[in-house]
Amino acid sequence: MTTILYEHPVFLEHHVPPGHPERPDRLRALNALLEHENFQPLQRREAPIANEDAVTLAHPESYLLDVMHMMPEEGVRQIEADTHASPESLKAALTGIGGAMAGVDDVFAGKADNVFVASRPPGHHAERDKVMGFCLFNNAAIAARHAQKVHGVERVAIIDFDVHHGNGTQDIFQSDGSVLYCSTHQMPLYPGTGAKDETGVGNIVNAPLHANDGSADFRDAVRSRIMPALHNFRPDLVIISAGFDAHHRDPLAQINLVGEDFDWVTGQLMDVAGKYAGNRVVSILEGGYDLEGLAESAGLHICRLMKG
């Protein structure tokens, strides 16, 4: 397998207040792990910055303008209950979008089998017209729309194993049967969405977990709810909202996964991509707030992408 990783120094320039969990050290911890010899075959590239109009693939122009107006000229500004911005935050967010779109282009051009985008801020809580939960723009949603617009993709599956439900992705696609959204997450927990009966037009599959659930519960949810939906949908592209905060060390939730669970679920999703989507997988970093747990889990996820 050929795997490309997109990164950029600007992702470290999205600043948050001291003590905030979504901090630059998250990427520093991952970068330190990627220096291991196991990752030498990984093709590491600088993510391009997307044009501002790329945001409008999944958000209205009025929302883009609102977010632009929220950006401070100096310091750190709170723009929503949990979400902050600094002078380079808009550039960081647009570069995350650029990396996700470039990843889509790469897998359809045959330059890579799969791609991992090591970006921040994350995106899956950003609704169509609402900043939420550390997120400014919905990277996975924009990548899906880019695949449809530029590459004529008919069916995109977005699988989200972040411990928090991707309310933003569900909000954007809940009336669009061309995109399947599947999520495992702890419930009840922020943001309060993600019940099994939230099904959209038959394209939303939620597999909620309970506090203190572990590996067996997670794997059963994937096998019993998400995998049948994926095989029925037969996606042309698999996008992963790759959050690693269901790790047992993570401070923001109470799910007890271990690194090997992320390796396992990555393999399951790669099997689906191999069967229906020409191996095309684009994985985008979402949450994961314990530095050791994030580095371990994301490292195993990337290793699985590389090995197939």
Extended strands (E) in the chain: 3-7, 43-46, 77-80, 83-85, 114-117, 156-160, 179-186, 204-209, 237-242, 281-285
- Exposed e or buried b per residue across 145-170, where buried means at least 16 C-beta atoms within 10 angstroms of its C-beta: bbbbeeeebebbbbbbbbbbbbbbbb
Per the structure block, which two tokens stand in for 236? 């042309």
Distance, in Å, from the CA atom of 136 to the CA atom of 97, rounded to the nearest integer, reads 11
Inter-residue contact 67 to 27 (CB < 8 Å): no
Inter-residue contact 63 to 54 (CB < 8 Å): no
Distance, in Å, from the CA atom of 237 to the CA atom of 157, rounded to the nearest integer, reads 6
**DSSP assignment string, 79-115:** EETTEEE-TTHHHHHHHHHHHHHHHHHHHHHTS-SEE
Q: How many CB atoms lie within 10 A of CB 224?
A: 10
Q: Is 146 a catalytic residue?
A: no
Per the rule left: phi > 0, alpha: psi between -120 and 50, beta: everything else, 79 is alpha
* Active-site annotation holder among 14, 15, 59, 125: 125
Q: How many CB atoms lie within 10 A of CB 19?
A: 6
> Counting Cβ atoms within 10 Å, is residue 36 exposed (0-12), middle (13-18) or buried (19+)?
exposed
The catalytic site residues sit at 125
